[in-house]
Amino acid sequence: MSDHVNSKRPFWLHQFAEYVLGLALVAVGIQSPTPTVPCLVAMVIILHAAITTGPLSAFRLVDRRLHRVIDVGVIAFEVVAAVQPWFSIESTTRLIMLMNAGVHAFVWWQTSYAVRIKPPKVAPTPTPTTAPPATSAPVEPATGRGADIGRQAGRIVGTGVNVVKQMKAKRQQPPD
């Protein structure tokens, strides 16, 4: 069971995907002769991502467990909005809205909604012995594709910072 949980994507990636899906529907709606429905669906998706407690949230009104449940309703709303007969929607726009709902469903299925709880920082108490202070239980390193991408991005940024520092040091050296 733990391998399955670790293989899920982190929640920040879920929120990011919802913003991208919403913006994609706005782009489709703007180019459609009937933009109302796709833009309305986009607004619901973006607002849903923005109000959920998470790294990319704007308002933090809904916790992740509730977001997971509401996501099913939002995906259903996307499908119903795409196939409903009352408002005129171009057939290509309908197809894109259905594909958007499919991607949203896949992202929902592959997301870990677990909240990482950081242990409280406790100041070490001085001890008369030379033994190191006791620490909390070791934290397992994050695994999965999202964690790998994050580590790789951090390394790229670190390398860039080091290159800039080296270039700056070379410029400040007096010529021989």
Looking at this protein, which amino acid is placed at residue 6? Answer: N
- The pTM for the full model equals 0.64
Higher confidence at residue 141 or residue 14?
14
Higher confidence at residue 1 or residue 113?
113
pLDDT digits (tens, 9 = 90+) for 16-52: 999 999 999 999 999 999 999 999 999 999 999 999 9
Of 118, 84, 116, which is closest to residue 98 (Cα–Cα)? 84
Of 68, 92, 73, which is closest to residue 82 (Cα–Cα)? 92
**Eight-state DSSP code of residue 150:** H
**Is pLDDT at 126 greater than 70 in this prediction?**
no
* Residue 78 neighbours by CB distance under 10 Å: 25
Confidence label for 171 from pLDDT (cuts 50, 70 and 90): confident
At 99 the pLDDT is 97
Residue 43 contacts residue 78 (beta carbons within 8 Å): no
**Eight-state DSSP code of residue 173:** S
pLDDT digits (tens, 9 = 90+) for 69-107: 999 999 999 999 999 999 999 999 999 999 999 999 999
Of 22, 105, 106, 94, which is closest to residue 58 (Cα–Cα)? 22
At 130 the pLDDT is 56
